[in-house]
Amino acid sequence: MQETTHEIIRSKPKLPVYFDIYRSCNYIVPSHWHNHVEILLVLEGSMHLICREESYMLHKGDLFLVNSGDIHYTRSVGDCLALLLQVPFEFLNLLLPGFGAVRFQEYFSGNAHQTDSHFTAMVRHLLCMKDLYENEKDGYQFLFGSHLHEFLYLLYTAYRLPDVPAATEQDLKTLNRLKHIITYVEEHYAEPLSLSGISRYFALNPEYFCRYFKKNMGFTFLEYVNMVRLAHIYSDLLETADSITEIQQRHGFTNYKVFNRMFKEVYGCTPSKLRSRLITDGTVPGL
């Protein structure tokens, strides 16, 4: 059976990669995975990131790389400006056959690496790509591609990890099961989802499923489902003119009081106030 990914990533027009600069405020991207290699560079503010059960707090100047296939979660802490580069697996594998066996260092502290010439050169290339992308002068794609290839060369030659032992059969089984659960939730989050129902669907004991999910994801199953719902609601608040009631019901919340309380706990304000601020500030959701 062909396995689908939780996050479908499409390249930007005229570019072979997905590249963007986004400003967000307390925006959550629930745990997800994709085959792309993802690079995040924090330009302003802070971001909380969880990757493969490890938790990181990223600040201005920090860079994080998500290796292909790794489950990860991000949340901007207050106002945050970040650079996002996602390089398709197919693009990398075409340049370097057998890329599936390659893994890179993940976390780069800007302060700790400020004298590291390879790191500072990588950041310089990312910022050059940012300038080219924002100015979008005729033919910028050629220079963008040049900086992209130099960035990847530095990454590959300086920060590729030594060959690591192959994952055990049990590790692969756990990862594949989690990916199936994530995909199922993304496809059905707007429907009523219960712990008993999801456990039955995956032929697991409810108590075991509860412990298994919390251990491997860092959240309870219902916390995760509600994060997925809220993330979709956040995007619709900015990207549509639909009423808040219509948006919340579309994405699986039927009790307005519960929805309002949870939304305020996550984003620090009501949906109407967030929508007003997003429109005023020109803030956009992250990816």
Report the C-alpha gap between 283 and 277 in whole angstroms. 8
How far is Cα of residue 162 from the mean position of the Cα atoms in its chain? 25
| The CATH number of domain 18-159 is 2.60.120.10 | yes
Per-residue model confidence (pLDDT) at position 176:
86
- The residue extents of the domains of the chain are 18-159, 169-281
Do residues 243 and 250 touch, judged by C-beta distance below 8 A? no
**For the residues 94-121, what does the mean pLDDT come to?**
94
pLDDT of residue 163: 75
Predicted pLDDT of residue 166? 58
Confirm if 64 and 106 have CB atoms less than 8 A apart: yes
Which pTM was predicted?
Answer: 0.81
Average pLDDT rounded to a whole number, residues 124-138: 96
Residue 152 pLDDT greater than 70, yes or no: yes
pLDDT at residue 284 is higher than 60? no
What is residue 254's predicted lDDT score, i.e. its pLDDT?
Answer: 86
Q: Give the mean pLDDT of 142-167.
A: 90
Q: In the CATH scheme, what is the code of domain 169-281?
A: 1.10.10.60
Q: What is the mean pLDDT of residues 4-12?
A: 49
Q: Which of 2-6, 36-40, 193-197 has the highest mean pLDDT?
A: 36-40
Alpha-carbon distances of 269 from 4, 26, 46, 232, 272, rounded to whole Å = 34, 10, 19, 17, 8
Q: Mean pLDDT across the chain, nearest whole number?
A: 88
Residue 11: pLDDT over 80: no
Confidence of residue 255 (pLDDT cuts 50, 70, 90): confident
- For the stretch 192-201, pLDDT in tens is 999 999 999 9
Q: With bands split at pLDDT 50, 70 and 90, how would you rate the model's confidence at 167?
A: low
What is the per-residue DSSP string for the chain? -PPPPSS---PPTT-SSEEEEEEEES-EEEEE--SSEEEEEEEEEEEEEEETTEEEEEETT-EEEE-TT--EEEEEEEEEEEEEEEE-HHHHHHHSTTGGG--B--EE-TTTTTT-HHHHHHHHHHHHHHHHHHH--TTHHHHHHHHHHHHHHHHHHHHBPPP-PPPPHHHHHHHHHHHHHHHHHHHHTTS---HHHHHHHTT--HHHHHHHHHHHHSS-HHHHHHHHHHHHHHHHHHH----HHHHHHHTT---HHHHHHHHHHHHSS-HHHHHHHHHHHT-----
Burial class (CB in 10 A: 0-12, 13-18, 19+), 23: buried
Check residues 100 and 277 and name the one with the higher pLDDT: 100
Distance CA 102, CA 164 (A): 9
The pLDDT tens digits of the residues spanning 75-84 come to: 999 899 999 9
Percent of the chain topping pLDDT 70: 89
**pLDDT score, position 46:** 97
For residues 149 and 145, what is the distance between their CA atoms, to the nearest angstrom? 6
Task: Report the range of poorest mean pLDDT among 135-149, 168-182, 270-284.
Answer: 270-284
Whether the per-residue pLDDT at 215 is higher than 70: the answer is: yes
> Dihedrals φ, ψ of 115, to 5°?
-105, 5
